Amino acid sequence: MLTRAQGRSADRSTTPRSASVDRKPMNPSNISVAAASVAQDSQGWIERLQANGAERDAALVELHALLLRAARFEVNRRRASSAHLRGNDYDDLAQQSADDALVAILRKLGDFRGDSRFTTWAYKFALYEAAANVRKRAWQGREIPLKAETWPLIVDEHQRSAQQSVETTDVLAALGEAIDGELSPHQREVLVAITLNGVPIDVLAERLNTTRGALYKTLHDARQKLRAALLARGMGIDADQESS
């Protein structure tokens, strides 16, 4: 006769250790069918957008509606940090973002490789344009600071020791001299605006009538020059310092 404890032990021994044991692997044929369906749907979008007449017009209307939903989602998501927006600004920005995204998608239609569903790929354009337009609207009518007011203001007041504070001050002093002496005026303006004054790169690109890619290249070249200048002085910037 089993005792109660033995009975519980016996019951546990007959219980599956994990529900995952009973799971069956997905049928490869189902995966193939799903992938084929995604590819077929995406190819349908490409063909309709590359067609002529009413078929293309209908595809554009459908795609713009999708982009508008995505743009509204992103604009509304940024409401808490967008106190500068009033009334119809949100819907205006969403409409503008959907329009911009549609133009960008049609321009880059040949870049779609089918790694994801076409609508997923297109959705990201609207999210990007909405985020960029909100940032641009925040800076509308504001002067973009291209000069550093004072270097000591970026010294971290929460250093762990007096020695670290002194070392940081020395590095910043050398960094300020290198920015003034080693960088071109354009490199200096871009570096200061983006890294010190927090100007969004898409806003700066619009004001300077250039592209994000060109500004990223300028920023990279400026940082390389500064790194070399500091190393020549026996100083270095680790990854944490450089990203701050």
Q: Which of 78, 196, 76, 210 is nearest to 135 (CA)?
A: 78
- Whether residues 239 and 156 share a domain: the answer is yes
pLDDT tens-digit map of 52-85: 999 999 999 999 999 999 999 998 887 776 666 6
- Whether residues 128 and 41 share a domain: the answer is yes
Any idea what the CATH number is for the domain that residue 104 is in?
1.10.1740.10
Inside any domain, residue 224: yes
- Whether residues 47 and 134 share a domain: the answer is yes
- Give the chain's domain count: 2
Inside any domain, residue 161: yes
- Whether residues 74 and 102 share a domain: the answer is yes
Residue 203 domain boundaries: 151-243
Inside any domain, residue 209: yes
Q: State the DSSP string of 148-214.
A: -S-GGGGS-TT-SSHHHHHHHHHHHHHHHHHHHHHS-HHHHHHHIIIIIS---HHHHHHHTT--HHH
Q: Which two tokens stand for residue 86?
A: 């009033």
What was the pLDDT predicted at 234? 76
Inside any domain, residue 109: yes
Backbone angles phi, psi at 66, to 5 degrees: -65, -45
Inside any domain, residue 63: yes
Q: Are 109 and 102 in contact (CB under 8 A)?
A: no
Q: Are 188 and 226 in contact (CB under 8 A)?
A: no
What was the pLDDT predicted at 216? 92
What was the pLDDT predicted at 191? 87
Amino acid at 242: E
What was the pLDDT predicted at 69? 94
- Whether residues 162 and 238 share a domain: the answer is yes
Inside any domain, residue 3: no
- Whether residues 213 and 235 share a domain: the answer is yes
- Whether residues 41 and 68 share a domain: the answer is yes
- Whether residues 113 and 60 share a domain: the answer is yes
What was the pLDDT predicted at 124? 94
Q: Are 91 and 58 in contact (CB under 8 A)?
A: no
Q: Which residues of the chain have pLDDT under 50?
A: 1-21, 26, 150-157, 159, 239-244
- Whether residues 127 and 192 share a domain: the answer is no
Burial 196-231 (b: 16+ CB within 10 A, else e): beebbbbbbbbebeeeeeebeebbeebbebbeebbe
Q: Which residue, 138, 169, 189, sits at the end of a domain?
A: 138
